[in-house]
Amino acid sequence: MRISKRLPLWQEITIVLLIKMALLFVIWKCFFSQPVARHMLVPQSMMTERFTSAASAPAQR
């Protein structure tokens, strides 16, 4: 007679979800926690000028 030592399905699902959440958290912390270069800030006036001129002028090739 074989005795099954598996966990109940709800426990397996819970463990897998916890592992996935932990991995997603680690990935988020590694890649999305801070900008690449904090010292490179663009002035607001320069950004506004760039976006407004790009929207009104046709694209050039």
d(C-alpha 11, C-alpha 21), whole Å:
15
DSSP code for 38: T
Q: What is the pLDDT of residues 5-45, one digit of tens each?
A: 888 999 999 999 999 999 999 999 888 777 666 677 778 88
> Which pLDDT score, from 0 to 100, does residue 38 have?
66
Residue reference for tokens 């904090």: 38
> Which pLDDT score, from 0 to 100, does residue 60 have?
61
